[in-house]
Amino acid sequence: MTKYIDLLREHQPTSDNKEKKKKRKVKAKDLAPTLNPYRIEKDKGETAIENIDILLEEHENETIHDDIIVEEVEAQVDKKISTQTSTNTDTYGLNLASWLAHVEQSLTSIFTAVQNNESFNINILEEHLNTLFDQIHTSPKVTDVLELEINKRLQSRLDSHHHADLVQKSILMMLYTMKVGMQLNLQLQELLPHTIAAMLQHLGMAMVPEDLRQKTETLTDDEIQKIRHASQSALDFLDEHHIQHEQLRATITQSSERYDGSGPQGLTGHDISWVARLVSLLSMFEALIHLRPYRQRLLPRDAIRDIVKHHKKEFDPEMLKALIESISLYPVGTFVQLNTGEIGQVINIHNKFPLRPVVYINMDKYGHTITERKVDLKKQPNLMIQKCMYEEGLKDLAEA
């Protein structure tokens, strides 16, 4: 996608520390079996927004508690590292690399059909997700292996096939919709239609010429209008081909709305459907972490920091809180450098020990290949992470 979803400005992480605020407890909210399954009291909204600052500050200061974590590690009973967090993507009989390739193929077919004004079968995509959800139900850690595979494929397949930009956005929207939805305690089958909606909410962009979607220069007024018309084009397409999907329609019509009423229709709070509130947040988040040929992408934590700093009141505070809580300090698929200088890729995280992921070490401090080994930092108190980066950051590290 192009700069119109990249906030039309450079995004730089900030290290400014805000004055610590008094912590207030945010109560868990109930799930309701409607289009808005996650319900919060409207008069609590401002309190929840204030707590976002506190929560983010706590996550930023996690390193302060590193000594405490090391002490807790000493008291833990050692457990064998699960084979599903290795570099092998076979999990309970499901080869995630193959599964992801089929999903990419299905998405490419869908966007091609929309471009050619031909109908498509949304059930195929639902079947793929059901297969994955069955595996997640058996073992939630499947999402770690999936995230690792997604990072690997997105890095290697940039602009390598038709509609690559739209497919990559869909895959990332799928991943983070699942992560945030699970953080909000949605049942997987309840989460399924929302995930489909998130993956296809930019359906109308398939009707926008690819060179316009990829354009890095300033857009003309006519080009801006073509992009703005994409949502209506998507709705017209669904009507013409009799494609019924309540969550998808709600997302297409309302995902540009903002919680504070600053969107085009002026809808506020829970007047915006649940799925549209989530997609509006994740779309901005995805734009910041998506690899672009013309600019660097932000690490997930830096993207969240940017959203909280510049757009906090535009999004549902409970969803923003869930996004913060579902993002690791060292996400699966990113690369880290240890205090030994060695470099490796994060392949698994421990929820209770966010500073102690499992790392697949395969490079020295100069980026040269060394004997591969898997290190569980939860069991190695003397090893510390000094730097986190994407794969493209390895080149800068080697040059330095």
Report yes or no on 211 lying in a domain.
Answer: yes
pLDDT at 93: 59
Residues 159 and 10 in one domain: yes
Amino acid (one-letter) located at 83: T
pLDDT at 173: 96
> Which residues make Cβ contacts (< 8 Å) with residue 311, sequence separation at least 6?
284
Residues 303 and 374 in one domain: no
**Residue count (the chain):** 400
Q: Taking CA 151 as the corner, what is the angle to CA 202 and CA 398, rounded to the nearest 5 degrees? A: 130
Residues 256 and 386 in one domain: no
pLDDT at 138: 87
Phi, psi of 95, deg, nearest 5: -85, 105
Determine the Cα–Cα distance for residues 51 and 370; give it in Å rounded to an integer. Answer: 45
* Residue ending a domain, choose from 302, 326, 350: 326
pLDDT at 12: 41
Residues 400 and 253 in one domain: no
Residues 345 and 387 in one domain: yes
Q: What CATH number corresponds to the domain at position 362?
A: 2.30.30
Q: What sections of 229-375 are H helices per DSSP?
A: 230-240, 246-254, 274-289, 300-311, 317-326
* Residue ending a domain, choose from 265, 299, 326: 326
> Which residues make Cβ contacts (< 8 Å) with residue 189, sequence separation at least 6?
133
Residues of the chain with pLDDT below 50 are 1-45, 62-88
Report yes or no on 136 lying in a domain.
Answer: yes
Determine the Cα–Cα distance for residues 244 and 246; give it in Å rounded to an integer. Answer: 6
Report yes or no on 173 lying in a domain.
Answer: yes
Residues 198 and 319 in one domain: yes
Report yes or no on 276 lying in a domain.
Answer: yes
Residues 9 and 129 in one domain: yes
Residues 311 and 337 in one domain: no
- Sheet harboring 343-350: ordered strands across? 369-376, 353-363, 343-350, 335-338, 385-389
> Which residues make Cβ contacts (< 8 Å) with residue 323, sequence separation at least 6?
176, 180, 183, 281, 282, 285, 304
Residues 206 and 322 in one domain: yes
Q: Is the dihedral of CA 173, 179, 183, 188 positive or negative?
A: positive
Residues 271 and 336 in one domain: no
* Residue ending a domain, choose from 279, 309, 326: 326
Which range of residues forms the domain containing residue 366?
329-400
Determine the Cα–Cα distance for residues 39 and 250; give it in Å rounded to an integer. Answer: 17
Cα–Cα distances in Å, from 232 out to 50, 170, 219, 249, 388? 35, 19, 20, 10, 41
Q: What CATH number corresponds to the domain at position 318?
A: 1.10.3210.10
Counting the structural domains of the chain, the total is: 2
Cα–Cα distances in Å, from 307 out to 56, 101, 258, 320, 394? 11, 31, 13, 9, 26
Report yes or no on 266 lying in a domain.
Answer: yes
Q: What angle do helix axes 274-289 and 246-254 make, rounded to 10 degrees? A: 60
Task: Tell whether pTM > 0.85.
Answer: no
Report yes or no on 63 lying in a domain.
Answer: no
Phi, psi of 296, deg, nearest 5: -75, 150
Determine the Cα–Cα distance for residues 81 and 360; give it in Å rounded to an integer. Answer: 12
Cβ neighbour number for residue 333 with a 10 Å cutoff: 20
Report yes or no on 49 lying in a domain.
Answer: no
Report yes or no on 337 lying in a domain.
Answer: yes
As beta bridge partners, residue 31 has: 38
Residues 246 and 133 in one domain: yes
Residues 253 and 127 in one domain: yes
203: Cα within 13 Å, side-chain hemisphere: 33
Is the distance from CB of 214 to CB of 233 less than 8 angstroms?
A: no
Q: Taking CA 7 as the corner, what is the angle to CA 4 and CA 11, rounded to the nearest 5 degrees? A: 135
- Can you point out the beta strands (E) in 110-197? none
- Tokens, residue 394: 């390895």
- Tokens, residue 41: 């009291």
pLDDT at 291: 73
Is the distance from CB of 176 to CB of 282 less than 8 angstroms?
A: yes
Determine the Cα–Cα distance for residues 133 and 142; give it in Å rounded to an integer. Answer: 9
- Tokens, residue 257: 């709305």
As beta bridge partners, residue 335 has: 345, 389
